[in-house]
Amino acid sequence: MSDFEVKKQMDAMVKELNQHTYNYYVLAMPTIEDYEFDKKLDELVGLENKYPEFANPNSPTQKVGGDITKNFVSVQHKWPMLSLGNTYNEQDLRDFDERVRKAIGDDFEYVCELKFDGLSISLTYENGKLARAVTRGDGSKGDDVTNNIKTIHSIPHWVKEQNIPDTFEIRGEVFMHRAAFEKLNKEREEIGEVPYANPRNFAAGTVKMQDSKEVSKRPLDCFLYGLNSEKQLFKTHWESLENVKKWGFPVCEHTQISQNIDDILAFIAQWEEKRFKLSYDIDGIVIKVNNYAQQQELGFTAKSPRWAISYKYKAAEVETVLEKVTYQVGRTGAVTPVANLEPVLLAGTTVKRATLHNADEIKRLNLHEKDTVYVEKGGEIIPKIIKVNLDKRIANAKPIAYVTHCPECGSRLVRKEGEVAYYCLNEDGCPPQIVGKIQHFIGRKAMNIDGLGDETIENFYQKGLIANIGDLYTLHTKAQELKQIERFGEKSIENMLKGIEQSKQMPFEKVLFGLGIRYVGETVAKKLAKGVKTINNLANASLEELIAIDEIGIRIAESIKEYFSKTEHLAQIEFLKTEGLQFEIKENSIPLQSDKLNEKTFVISGVFEKHSREELKIIIEENGGKILSGISAKLNYLVAGDNMGPSKLEKATKLNIPLIDEDELMKMVE
């Protein structure tokens, strides 16, 4: 190649790898496997060593992680957060061990740790108090995500141990347990959201959310593994881990001291098998020289410490044949492609199907009919196709064309702006959407109807006994038809009808959640019920009134307006009202202590020192005041505590609404 072609190739590789780095670290949505990324990075390193005159100063070989997201305050790391060199083979580890021995001799030991598949975090404590939590960012600066990290229960807000430094930093990894991931992903699907691909992406996306209240609803966890302070407190890394564990920090128990490379290789082999039995994902093993003085002697490169390396497991993958692509239609109308595979054994289970996520994924893989594909089950809960073996592609094979019409009802599919999924909009005429909505309605978190399950609903629909949720309340008139159903005896019928009748007592927020309005999950349904009090108020509320309700954004508000714009939905609600379902909130009457706040309206926001928000609410109502759900011109006072939302403060200021604290409120009722 000419010099011009070499430089052009290197610049193109820098651009591509920087984009992959941004996708991974900033967007938390990687579009390339770790192994492929590392191979491309090694290729770029080789070219930069060979042609240093063409090295790009913006090359990812000179940086760690990605750029700084604009949504958070950028903070300079006191100690740079460098990344570790990666390897996937034994020889690289032996070469690393040889370099260490040449530098410091044979009198040393290693510490082996699990390499967690999460988001790196740096915690700074001042006088025992958690002062800052900062992401890795680009290695020298990161994002201040302190409020979000404080929601993680395993991270102490205070360290009360004696003899700790006035200021110290401790580093670790934020992650999500697989069980929590599965539960939360299911909830995302319930409200029509696209599920996350794996726990790492979910954890990273959660840490970078703007609203810490939303973060607190997602059970994140953390392991800590690196202590920094001005004065060196301990002689070895192992001693440091043992002590920070005593200070109250979560430290992984699966760590060992190794005397030589053979010990390390045995540890790696042990966890390659055992990692699938952990409750969380790991993608390798980290090896560190134990003694801090020896670490200092070994030093650093521009990007990595010379005294540590990480061995990364290649995700479990197998080769098989794509038999066909089918499409599933969900309750919300989202159409998801599924790869049907020639059965193959992978990570201890037989795999017949793999997720393809969406049309973009099919296009990225360039899938053709009867392709031989590689299927992976590493950090993924569900197996997925990672690439195609082009050498085995059948001649004249046709590309997989994403369906243009619903496979169930034939309606033309629509892709909404800003969404990756295609949707069938025929919600009242598409069988899986109808069945899915009824199954959602009877579910435990909604109407919790005993004696009914998903299979029974499917069976009833197929036999023409039900076509919408209202038909459940007419089943008592179809006794003869019910008796004809196989394995559905009189006792089963009796229990089912009893469960349906008892569901009429379920509170308004449960009914509202059960209606299946897109984006209205269990928590949102509670907020709406509390904010509007009745279904009529909800149906008639303006966009502005809906957005004024705590935690209701424009997307949810628009979805609610769209739902109530359809006459068939209004008719269904009227029918359910006549059947006795609860469409207004039942509030406990609070005995009045005085009328000092009579006809005064309040919104409570923030965290308070002397009272909880619920206590302040009771005090206001006991004295004749009324609590509003959001900031509007009707509001008399905003009771403001610490960490109040900036949008509420801004809106209250614009409307000239007085701000009072809890002491001023108490003076008003004294």
In angstroms, rounded to a whole number, what is the distance separating the alpha carbons of residues 452 and 438? 11
In angstroms, rounded to a whole number, what is the distance separating the alpha carbons of residues 356 and 190? 19
Contact 459, 485 (CB under 8 A): yes
Catalytic, 245? Answer no
Greatest alpha-carbon span in the chain: 89
* Strand 601-605 to 637-640 pairing: parallel
Half-sphere exposure of 233 (CA within 13 A, CB side): 21
Residues 387, 388, 391, 395, Cα dihedral to 10°: -160
In angstroms, rounded to a whole number, what is the distance separating the alpha carbons of residues 183 and 189? 10
In angstroms, rounded to a whole number, what is the distance separating the alpha carbons of residues 638 and 643? 14
Query: Which residues does 483 contact at the CB level (< 8 Å), separation at least 6?
Result: 490, 493
User: Is the sign of the CA dihedral 150, 153, 156, 157 positive or negative?
Assistant: positive
Radius of gyration of the chain, Cα coordinates, nearest whole angstrom: 29
In angstroms, rounded to a whole number, what is the distance separating the alpha carbons of residues 583 and 574? 10
In angstroms, rounded to a whole number, what is the distance separating the alpha carbons of residues 112 and 270? 12
CA-wise closest residue to 235 among 223, 227, 246: 227
* Strand 110-116 to 282-289 pairing: antiparallel
> With b meaning 16 or more CB within 10 Å and e meaning fewer, what string describes 313-331?
bebbbbebebeebebebbb
For residue 245, give Cα distances in angstroms to 56, 224, 232, 295, 509. Answer: 43, 9, 17, 22, 43
CA-wise closest residue to 647 among 568, 559, 560, 547: 547
How far is Cα of residue 545 from the mean position of the Cα atoms in its chain? 29
Question: Starting from the edge strand earliest in sequence, which strands make up the sheet with 119-126, in order?
Answer: 129-135, 119-126, 167-175, 221-229
In angstroms, rounded to a whole number, what is the distance separating the alpha carbons of residues 421 and 413? 10
CB atoms within 10 A of CB 164: 17
In angstroms, rounded to a whole number, what is the distance separating the alpha carbons of residues 50 and 536? 72
Select which of 7, 102, 115, 246 is catalytic. 115
In angstroms, rounded to a whole number, what is the distance separating the alpha carbons of residues 30 and 283? 15
> With b meaning 16 or more CB within 10 Å and e meaning fewer, what string describes 93-125?
beebbeebeeebeeebbbbbbbbbbbbbbbbbb
Q: Which residues are annotated as catalytic?
A: 115
